Amino acid sequence: MEERQGRRIVLFPSPFQGHIRPMVQLGNLLHTRGFSITIVHTTFNSPDPFLYPHFTFHFLHENISSQSQTDIIAFLKVLNTNCVQPLTDCLTRLISDDHEYPISCLISDAGLTFTGKVANQLKLPRLVLRTGGATSLSVFAAFPFLREKGYLPIQESRLEEQVPEFPHLKVKDLPVIKTTNPEDLFELVNGMIDGTKSSAGVIFNTFQELEDPAIAAISQHFQVPIFPIGPFHKLLPAKPPTQPDQTAAIDWLDKQAPSSVIYVSFGTLAAINEQDFVEIAWGLANSKQPFLWVVRPGLVNGLDWLDLLPDGLIEDLKERGLIVKWAPQLQVLAHPSIAVFWTHNGWNSTLESICEGVPMICMPFFTDQKVNARYARDVWRVGLGFESVKLIEREEIERVIRRAMVGEEGKEIRKRVLEWKEMARVCLGENKGSSFQSLERLVSHILSI
Ligand code: UDX
Helices 212-222, 134-141: axis angle to 10 degrees equals 40
Q: What is the DSSP letter of 257?
A: P
Q: Is 346 in the pocket of ligand 1 (CB under 6 A)?
A: yes
Please check whether residues 443 and 359 belong to one and the same domain: no
Task: Count other Cβ atoms within 10 Å, centred on residue 428.
Answer: 18
> Is residue 238 a part of any domain in this protein?
no
pLDDT score, position 66: 81
Q: Is 21 in the pocket of ligand 1 (CB under 6 A)?
A: yes
The edge-to-edge listing of strands for the beta sheet with 321-324 is: 321-324, 291-294, 261-265, 338-343, 360-362, 383-385
Q: How far is the CA of 349 from the centre of ligand 1 (A)?
A: 6
What are the residues facing 204 on neighbouring strands? 130, 228
Name the nearest CA neighbour of 133 among 379, 333, 441, 358.
Answer: 379
Q: Indicate if the pLDDT at residue 414 is higher than 90.
A: yes
Please check whether residues 214 and 269 belong to one and the same domain: no
Please check whether residues 389 and 435 belong to one and the same domain: no
Q: Is 337 in the pocket of ligand 1 (CB under 6 A)?
A: no
Q: How far is the CA of 26 from the centre of ligand 1 (A)?
A: 16
Segment among 131-140, 218-227, 236-245, 326-335 with least mean pLDDT: 236-245
Q: Which of 14, 16, 17 maximizes ligand 1 atoms within 8 Å of its Cβ, making it the mutation to test the pocket?
A: 17
Name the nearest CA neighbour of 279 among 304, 302, 308.
Answer: 308
Q: Indicate if the pLDDT at residue 98 is higher than 90.
A: no
Q: Is 398 in the pocket of ligand 1 (CB under 6 A)?
A: no
> Is residue 188 a part of any domain in this protein?
yes
> Is residue 355 a part of any domain in this protein?
yes
Q: Is 17 in the pocket of ligand 1 (CB under 6 A)?
A: yes
Name the nearest CA neighbour of 87 among 51, 50, 126.
Answer: 126
Please check whether residues 154 and 297 belong to one and the same domain: no
Q: What ranges in 288-346 are assigned the alpha helix state H? A: 311-320, 329-333
Average pLDDT over the chain reads: 94
Is there a contact between 343 and 265 (Cβ–Cβ < 8 Å)? yes
Name the nearest CA neighbour of 291 among 329, 260, 258, 257.
Answer: 260
> What proportion of the chain, given as a percentage, has pLDDT over 70?
98
Q: Indicate if the pLDDT at residue 439 is higher than 80.
A: yes
Q: How far is the CA of 150 from the centre of ligand 1 (A)?
A: 31
Is there a contact between 206 and 110 (Cβ–Cβ < 8 Å)? no
> Is residue 187 a part of any domain in this protein?
yes
Ligand 1 atom, smallest distance to 269 CA: 11
- The tens digit of pLDDT for each residue in 23-67 reads 999 999 999 999 999 999 999 999 999 999 999 999 999 888 888
Please check whether residues 340 and 222 belong to one and the same domain: no
Q: Indicate if the pLDDT at residue 166 is higher than 60.
A: yes
Please check whether residues 179 and 200 belong to one and the same domain: yes
Q: Indicate if the pLDDT at residue 310 is higher than 60.
A: yes
> Is residue 405 a part of any domain in this protein?
yes
Please check whether residues 209 and 324 belong to one and the same domain: no
Please check whether residues 200 and 298 belong to one and the same domain: no
Better-scored residue on pLDDT, 118 or 318 = 118
C-alpha span between 386 and 39 (Å, rounded) = 40
Q: What is the DSSP letter of 158?
A: G
Q: Which of 250, 348, 362 maximizes ligand 1 atoms within 8 Å of its Cβ, making it the mutation to test the pocket?
A: 348
> Is residue 237 a part of any domain in this protein?
no
Looking at residues 296-318, what average pLDDT do you find? 81
Please check whether residues 265 and 120 belong to one and the same domain: no
Ligand 1 atom, smallest distance to 350 CA: 17
Ligand 1 atom, smallest distance to 343 CA: 17
Q: Domain containing 9 — which CATH number? A: 3.40.50.2000
2 band by pLDDT with thresholds 50, 70 and 90: very low
Q: How far is the CA of 147 from the centre of ligand 1 (A)?
A: 29
Q: How far is the CA of 131 from the centre of ligand 1 (A)?
A: 11
Please check whether residues 219 and 257 belong to one and the same domain: no
1 band by pLDDT with thresholds 50, 70 and 90: very low
C-alpha span between 105 and 98 (Å, rounded) = 17
> Is residue 10 a part of any domain in this protein?
yes
pLDDT score, position 4: 53
Q: Is 36 in the pocket of ligand 1 (CB under 6 A)?
A: no
Q: How far is the CA of 291 from the centre of ligand 1 (A)?
A: 19
Ligand 1 atom, smallest distance to 326 CA: 33
Q: Indicate if the pLDDT at residue 14 is higher than 50.
A: yes
Q: Is 347 in the pocket of ligand 1 (CB under 6 A)?
A: yes
Q: Is 349 in the pocket of ligand 1 (CB under 6 A)?
A: yes
Q: How far is the CA of 345 from the centre of ligand 1 (A)?
A: 8
Name the residue at shortest CA distance from atom 6 of ligand 1: 346
Q: How far is the CA of 234 from the centre of ligand 1 (A)?
A: 16
pLDDT score, position 117: 97
Please check whether residues 444 and 397 belong to one and the same domain: no
Q: How far is the CA of 448 from the centre of ligand 1 (A)?
A: 33
Name the residue at shortest CA distance from atom 12 of ligand 1: 18
Indicate whether this model's pTM tops 0.75.
yes
Please check whether residues 132 and 254 belong to one and the same domain: no
Range of the domain at 374: 244-424
Looking at residues 174-181, what average pLDDT do you find? 96
Count of the separate structural domains present in the chain? 2
pLDDT score, position 389: 62
- The tens digit of pLDDT for each residue in 367-391 reads 999 999 999 999 999 999 997 666 7
pLDDT score, position 5: 63
Q: Indicate if the pLDDT at residue 133 is higher than 90.
A: yes
C-alpha span between 265 and 273 (Å, rounded) = 15
pLDDT score, position 97: 87
> Is residue 236 a part of any domain in this protein?
no
